Amino acid sequence: MRHEHPGPALAADGTRRARIVVLGGGFGGVYTALALEKLLEKRDDFEIALVNRENYFVFQPMLPEVISGTIGITDVVSPIRRLLPRTMLHLRDVEGIDLERRRVPLSPGFRPHTDELEYDHLVLALGNVTDFRGLAGLPEHAMPFKNLGDALALRNHVIRCLAEATIEAHDVELRRELLTFVVAGGGFSGVEVAAELNDFVRAVLPNYRGLRKEELRVVLLHSQERILPEMAEPLARFAQRILTKRGVELRLKTRLAAATGTAAVLASGERIMTRTLVSTVPSSPHPLVERLALPKAKGRVVTNAQLEIEGHPGVWAVGDCAQVMTPDGATAPPTAQHAIREGSVVAHNIAASLRGGTRKVFAFKGLGKMGSLGHRSAVAEVFGIRLSGFLAWWLWRTIYLMKMPGWGRRLRVAVDWTLDLVLPPDLVQLRVGGSRGLAREHFEPGQDVFRQGELGDRLYLILSGEVDVIREEAGENRVLARLGPGQWFGEMAILHMTIRSASVRCVLPLDVLSLPREEFGVLAAHLPDLRQRFDALAAERQASPAPGAPVAVPLGVARGEHAVAFRE
Amino acid sequence: MRHEHPGPALAADGTRRARIVVLGGGFGGVYTALALEKLLEKRDDFEIALVNRENYFVFQPMLPEVISGTIGITDVVSPIRRLLPRTMLHLRDVEGIDLERRRVPLSPGFRPHTDELEYDHLVLALGNVTDFRGLAGLPEHAMPFKNLGDALALRNHVIRCLAEATIEAHDVELRRELLTFVVAGGGFSGVEVAAELNDFVRAVLPNYRGLRKEELRVVLLHSQERILPEMAEPLARFAQRILTKRGVELRLKTRLAAATGTAAVLASGERIMTRTLVSTVPSSPHPLVERLALPKAKGRVVTNAQLEIEGHPGVWAVGDCAQVMTPDGATAPPTAQHAIREGSVVAHNIAASLRGGTRKVFAFKGLGKMGSLGHRSAVAEVFGIRLSGFLAWWLWRTIYLMKMPGWGRRLRVAVDWTLDLVLPPDLVQLRVGGSRGLAREHFEPGQDVFRQGELGDRLYLILSGEVDVIREEAGENRVLARLGPGQWFGEMAILHMTIRSASVRCVLPLDVLSLPREEFGVLAAHLPDLRQRFDALAAERQASPAPGAPVAVPLGVARGEHAVAFRE
C-alpha cells in the first residue's frame, strides 16, 4: 500500500504552494531549512519538509565530549522541531529518490506501508556514511563514531570494560583485552575520540578497585607519517606531543587490516588484543546517492556554482554528499562551516527560482580549522594564524558554543562545562537495547570461537572459513574434526548440556552466523523438524568422539567445498 | 566452567576478613553497604561485595521526572561505585542462592562462565519485580515503570507517538491511538507517571505541527473508588481534582484485564484504543526469593526484629523483599525511608555478630508520605500534618533533594530544576536498542494482525487462538481459511512479494510468535529445508484461493487441536 502524502496546502491567497523537500538533518540540511524558514517570513509561498531518521540535529564538533560525559547526553543535540518550527519533519528513512516522478518514497512508521513525498525542489543533504565493507570483521566488531547512538554505545561499552576488568581480576588475558582501547584513524575525529577516551578512562580509574594506571592502553592507529593531515605540520606535531604525554600510544604508518571480537589486526599481521575498536576512517557516499543517476566525482554529486545539479532543475546538493567548486577552482572541503554557507546559498537560489531574482554563487573560502585535544588543549588555524594549547582550546570552546544553534542548548552546554569544573566525570552505564539476536561474527586463525568447559550460549553456522574441533583429555589436545562452510557447530551444549565438551578454533579466516540459545530454543520448540535434525547431528557427533572421526552433517544445509568432514 | 571468585583478602593484621555479600542495589542494599562502609572506618575486619545488574542506584522518587526531561537523564541515578568506594561491585545477575554452601552463583560477563561468590553474611535486598503474568497481552504490550531503562523507553516512545501523529495526519484511527496514553494503577507511582506524562505531552504539543490539545488523552485507570489508597481521603480527593483540572481522565473502579498492541482491554470488555499502556500495578516477589526455602509471608522473607532470618544465622533481609515487624506489631511498609533504616540496623547487627556487642531492634515508624502531582503541586502527610498544593510540592522537592545520596547529584538536580524554569522541556528522542527480533504478540478478537495491501514485514506462528484469513475482492470480504495453533501465516508476502495478499483477523484470543523478514531470510538462506517447506506452503495456499478452501500446512510443525483447516 503506497500512501501518497497529501500535496502542499494552498497559500493564504489561494495559490498552490511549492514544496521543498530536504533530505538529511545534518549541518547542510538543517541550515538550508533554517535559511528557507527566514525567507518564509516575507512571503508564505512554499512549504518545507525535512526527512531525517532522528528527531535531533547532532552538533558534531562536540560529539566526542559525550564519551566522557562532560556534556549531558542530550545537550550535544538539538531537537529539529524546535530549531525549525515551520518545517514538517518526517522521521523516516529515505527508501529511494524518484527523479522522474519527483517523489521520495519513505520507510513505514507504526503501520507497514510506504509514504511518498512529492517535491518541487529537492535538496540532497545526506552526508556520507561509515563504510566498513572490504575490511574483514570490521562490520561486526568495529564501532563507528558518527552519531549520538555511536557515542553513547562507545561510552557504555568503555564503562562496562572497566567494570568487568575489576571483577575478572583473575583472568589476566581478558583483563588486558578489556583495558586496551584502540582508535583507528588520526584525522580530527579519531584524534578527538582518542583524546576524550583517554581523559575519561584515566579520570575514572580511581573508582575502579584494583585497576592500575599502567594497565590502561589507549592506542591511536594512523596510516600516515603524522596525525591531523588537515593541519599544518607544527600543529600536528604539537598534538602528537600532547597526546603522548597524556598516555595515548601513537602508532603511525600503521594500517588496520581486519578485526575480530578480541583483536585489532594490523596490516603487518600484528594483533592488538582488545575488546574496544573504534574506527573513524572509512566513509563512503550515502547508498542513496550512490544509486542516483547524477553526475558524480568521488561518489559526491557534482553541482554547478549555484549548487544546482546540471540537467536537473530543482535538484540541489549541499554538505558532504555534494561536490562543490569554489570560484578559485578548488573543491569545498566536507566541513560544517562550508555546509552551513552552502545551505544559505541553496535557500536563496530556490527562493530566486520560485519568486524570481538573481541567483547567488557559492564563494566561501573557509575561516580555519580547529581540533580539540581534550583536557584544556587544542590546535587551531584561524584566519591564517596558528594556535595551540590552552588559548586554542579556549577559542575552540567559545567559537563552537556560539555556533551551536539555539540559546537553550548554549545555556545547557555552558552549565555542563561549569559543573564539569567542580564535579567528577559521570560514570553511569546506560544499559539500553536488547541482547544480540542472530549475529555475524568474524574470527582470525588461531582464535578460539569458544573453549571447552565454557557455558554453551550460542549455536554457529560457518559462512566461510574453517575451524578445528578440539577436545582436551588428560592434558592432551585432540582434533576431533575440521568443519567448513555450511556446517553448524556448538549444538551439543545447546541441546543437551550447558557446558562445551570441546573447543572450536579458527583455522582459516572465519565468518559465522550465530544464534543465541534462547532464540534457537523457541524455533526448535515450534519446528520439530529442525529440532530432530539437530538432535541427530548431536547424537552422531557424540557417538564418534575419536580423533579425526568423520562428522556427518545430516542437516540438509547448503554446503560449500570445504564441508566434507575429513578422516585421517 | 565454574570460576570460584577468590576468597576475601587478609586484613592488615593477617587475620581472615569476613565477606558480606549484599544482593541488590536499591535503597535497602545501597544503604546497608553505606552503613557497613562507615563501620569499616574504625576497623578493617570485613569486606563488602554488592551484586546489582546496573552500575547505578536509582533515586526512585524522581524517576517520573525523566519522562518530561525535567531532570537530566543520568542525574536521577548515582553511580554505585562513587557512593560506595570501599565496596566491590559485581555487575551481574544473581543466578541462585546456595544457602547450604553459602555461595551465590553469578551470571557470566564477557566470557561464558559462571562466577561464584562465597559469603559469611548475606543481605537480601532484591526488592520486588513487575509481574504481568496472568494478564493476557501485558507481558508483550504493557510498559513497566520500575527502572531508568523503563523511564527512558517510555519517554522515547511518547515522543515517537507525537511525531508519528503529525506525519500520519490522514490516518484518523492510528492518530487517535497514538495520541491516547493509558496508565494503569492509581497508587503513588501511577499517579506520578500520569501527572508527568500529561504535563510533558501538553507542554511540547506546540512543537508538533497540526496536533490539537483536544486530541490528547491521558487516562489513569484505578480499580478502587479513589486514587492514592496510601493517603488520607481529603488528600486523594485533592489529587483527583488537580489531575482532572490538568486534563487527566480518571477512570475509577476500572480494572485492566488484557492488552494488545493497539488497545487496553478493560474488565468490562471495553477497549481503549492506544499505542501506549503503562502498568504500574502488579509487583511480585523477586523470582530468586520465590525459590528460596525460607519462612515467608505474602512472598516476602520473614525476619526477626533484628532483621536476621530465624534458623539462618548470617542471612538478613531488608527493603521490599523483607517482611519486617515493627515493635507495635505492624508490618513495615515497602518504602524508601523504611529500607534506609533497615539497612543501617542490618549493618550494625552484622558488625555486632562479627565484633561482639549488642544488636539493635528495628523500631522505625515512618515520617510521612508524599506524592508529586507534577507542575508545582503535590500531596504530603508529614508528622501527622496534611499538606497539599504548592507548599507540599516545595516540601517534596526540598526533602527529596536532601535525601539524594551525594552532593554531586544534588547539585546537578538543583541546576536541572533551575534550568527547567527558563528552558522548554527537552524533546530529543534517544533511539537506542535494535529492532524487535523474535517476538511474542497478543491480539484480541476482531483485531487485525495485518491488513491486505500492507508491506509484509513479519512471519507469524500461532501459539494459541484462531484467526481468519480474509481477502477483499471487488469490495467483498471472503474468508479464505481459519487457522489455529501450530500454523504459520504471513509467509507469502515474505517469500514472494512485499504486499499482503489478504488480511488476517483474530477470531479467538490470539498469542503468536513473530519473526522479522530479515531474520527469516537469513535462516531460510542457510536452511534450504526450511525454505522449501515455506515455498511449498505458499504455493499450496496460492493455488487454492477459493473461499473456505482447505489450507494444508505441510510444515511438520507441532499442531494443536484447532489446527485442521476448515472447509465450508
pLDDT digit string, tens, across residues A272-331: 999 999 998 768 889 999 999 999 998 999 999 999 999 999 999 999 999 998 878 888
Please answer yes or no on whether A164 and B110 come within 8 Å at the CB atom: yes
pLDDT band for position B557 (cuts 50, 70, 90): very low
- Residue A113 scores a pLDDT above 90: no
CB contact under 8 A, B432 and A428: no
- Is B69 in Cβ contact with A72 (below 8 Å)? no
Would the pLDDT of A553 be above 70?
A: no
Do residue B169 and residue A6 have CB atoms under 8 angstroms apart?
Answer: yes
CA B226 to chain centre: 24
- Which residues on chain B are in Cβ contact (under 8 Å) with A111? 168, 171, 174, 454
Q: Is the pLDDT of residue B238 over 90?
A: yes
Least confident of A190-199, A519-528, B178-187: A519-528
Q: Dump strand ranges (E) for B96-210.
A: 103-106, 114-118, 121-124, 128-130, 180-184
Q: What is the CATH number that goes with domain A138-280+370-422?
A: 3.50.50.100
Split at pLDDT 50, 70, 90, the class of B241 is very high
Is A53 in contact with B178 (Cβ distance < 8 A)?
Answer: no
Supply the pLDDT for residue A564: 27
Taking CB atoms and an 8 Å cutoff, what residues of chain A touch B156?
Answer: none
Check residues B147 and A442 and name the one with the higher pLDDT: A442
Distance, in Å, from the CA atom of A334 to the CA atom of B263, rounded to the nearest integer, reads: 48
Q: For residues B367 and B103, which has the higher predicted lDDT (pLDDT)?
A: B103
Residues B432, A432: C-beta atoms closer than 8 Å:
yes
Interface A–B counts its CB contacts (< 8 A) at 237
Q: What is the mean pLDDT of chain B?
A: 87
Which of A48, A58, A81, A157 is the best mutation test for B, with the most CBs of B within 10 A? A81
Chain A interface test: which of B66, B111, B141, B152 (most A C-beta within 10 Å): B111
Check A454 against B1: CB less than 8 A apart.
Answer: yes
Measured between alpha carbons, how far is A87 from A78 in angstroms, rounded to an integer? 15
Q: Identify the CA nearest to A214 among candidates A162, A165, A179, A266.
A: A179
Cα–Cα distance, B202 to B214 (Å, whole number): 10
Task: Kindly list the residues from chain A whose CB atom is less than 8 angstroms away from the CB atom of residue B94.
Answer: none
Mutate to test the interface with B, among A527, A529, A559 (most CBs of B within 10 A): A527
Residue with cell 552546554: A413
Closest A-chain CA to B69: A74
Mean pLDDT, rounded, for B166-193: 94
DSSP strands (E only) in B24-131: 46-52, 56-58, 77-79, 87-91, 103-106, 114-118, 121-124, 128-130
| Reported CATH class of domain A439-563 | mainly beta
Between A1, A81, A111, which is nearest B174 by CB? A111
Q: Are B217 and B249 in contact (CB under 8 A)?
A: yes
**Is A174–B111 a contact, with Cβ atoms under 8 angstroms apart?**
yes
Which chain A residues have a beta carbon less than 8 Å from that of B438?
Answer: 437, 519, 522-523
What residue in B sits closest to A521 (Cα-Cα)? B438
Confidence of residue B170 (pLDDT cuts 50, 70, 90): confident
* Interface contact A430-B108, CB threshold 8 A: no
Q: Residues B375, B196: contact at Cβ < 8 Å?
A: no
Q: Which residues contact A376 (CB under 8 A, 6 or more apart)?
A: A390, A393
Mean pLDDT of all residues in A334-360 = 95
Share of chain B above pLDDT 70, in %: 92
Say which of A163, A450, A523 has its CB closest to residue B55. A163
- The domain over range B138-281+370-422 is classified in CATH as 3.50.50.100: yes
Say which of A159, A456, A529 has its CB closest to residue B529.
A529
Contact A411 B429 (CB under 8 A): no
Higher-confidence position of A368 and B406: A368
pLDDT attached to residue A330: 86
List of chain B residues whose C-beta atoms are within 8 Å of the C-beta of residue A55: 159, 163, 427-429
Identity of the residue in A55, A461, A525 whose CB atom sits nearest the CB atom of B163: A55
A1 and B453: CB-CB below 8 Å?
yes
Question: Could B434 and A434 be called an inter-chain contact, meaning their C-beta atoms sit closer than 8 Å?
Answer: yes
**Considering only alpha carbons, which residue of chain B is nearest residue A167?**
B90
More confident residue, A192 or A515: A192
> Domain map of chain A by residue range?
2-53+92-129+285-355, 138-280+370-422, 439-563
Per-residue pLDDT at A432 = 59
Phi and psi at residue B283, to the nearest 5°? -130, 140
Of A77, A113, A428, the CB nearest to B55: A428
Whether the domain at B138-281+370-422 and the domain at B439-563 fall into the same CATH topology: no
Residue A90 clears pLDDT 90, i.e. is over it? yes
Q: Cell triple for residue B56?
A: 547505578
Contact flag A168-B110 (C-beta cutoff 8 Å)? yes
Cα distances from A534 to residues A485, A522, A563, B24, B410, in angstroms, run 17, 14, 17, 39, 56
Classify the phi-psi angles of B100: left when phi > 0, otherwise alpha if psi is within -120 to 50, otherwise beta. alpha
CA distance A368 to chain B (A): 31
- As a whole number, the mean pLDDT across chain A is 87
Predicted local confidence at residue A548, as pLDDT: 37
Residues of B in Cβ contact (< 8 Å) with A558 = 525-526, 528
Give Cα separations from B33 to A342, B125, B250, B251 (angstroms): 58, 11, 41, 42
What residues of chain B lie within 8 A of the CB of A169, using their CB? 6
- pLDDT of residue B6 exceeding 80: no
pTM: 0.87
Residue A68 distance to chain B (closest CA, Å): 13
Decide if pLDDT at B561 tops 80: no
Q: How far apart are CA B523 and CA A522, in angstroms?
A: 14
**B351 min Cα distance to partner chain A (Å):** 23
Please compute, for residue A427, the number of CA atoms within 13 A of its CA located in the half-sphere on the CB side: 24
The conformation of residue B133, written as its DSSP 8-state character, comes to: T
Residue A506 scores a pLDDT above 80: yes
Q: Quick one: pLDDT at residue A1? A: 46
Best of B1, B164, B167 to disrupt the A interface (most A CBs within 10 Å) is B167
**CA-nearest residue of chain A to B440?**
A522
The answer to whether B148 and B56 are in contact (CB under 8 A) is yes
Task: Region of B128 please: left (phi>0), alpha (psi -120 to 50) or beta.
Answer: beta
Contacts of A3 in chain B (CB under 8 A): 170
Does the pLDDT of residue A446 top 70, yes or no?
Answer: yes
pLDDT at A436: 63
Mutation to test the A interface, candidates B426, B458, B459, most A Cβ within 10 Å: B426
Q: Which pLDDT does position B556 carry in this prediction? A: 33
Distances (CA, A) of B371 to B218, B365, B374, B396: 19, 19, 9, 8
Query: What pLDDT digit, counting tens, does each position of A125-161 carry?
Result: 999 888 888 889 998 899 999 888 889 889 999 999 9
Give the model's pLDDT for residue B5.
63
pLDDT of residue A557 exceeding 50, the answer is no
pLDDT of residue B378: 94
Q: Cβ contact (<8 Å) for A89 and B148?
A: no
pLDDT number for residue B547: 37
Q: Mutate which of B172, B527, B530 to disrupt the A interface (most A C-beta within 10 Å)?
A: B527
Q: What is the pLDDT of residue B497?
A: 61
pLDDT value for A423: 80
Contact criterion met (CB < 8 Å) for A433 and B434 = yes
Tell me the ipTM for this assembly: 0.85
What pLDDT is stored for residue A251 in this prediction?
A: 98
Contact B519 A1 (CB under 8 A): no
Looking at residue A348, what is its pLDDT?
A: 97
Shortest Cα–Cα distance, A192 to chain B (Å): 23
A522 CB neighbours in chain B (<8 A) are 438, 513
> Quick check: A152 and B432 CB within 8 A?
yes
Give me B362's grid cell.
528495628
Cα(A320)–Cα(A300) distance, integer angstroms: 8
CB-based contact A526 B171, cutoff 8 Å: no
Whether the per-residue pLDDT at A568 is higher than 50: the answer is: no
Cell numbers for A474: 588428560
Topology given in CATH for the domain delimited by A2-53+92-129+285-355: FAD/NAD(P)-binding domain (3.50.50)
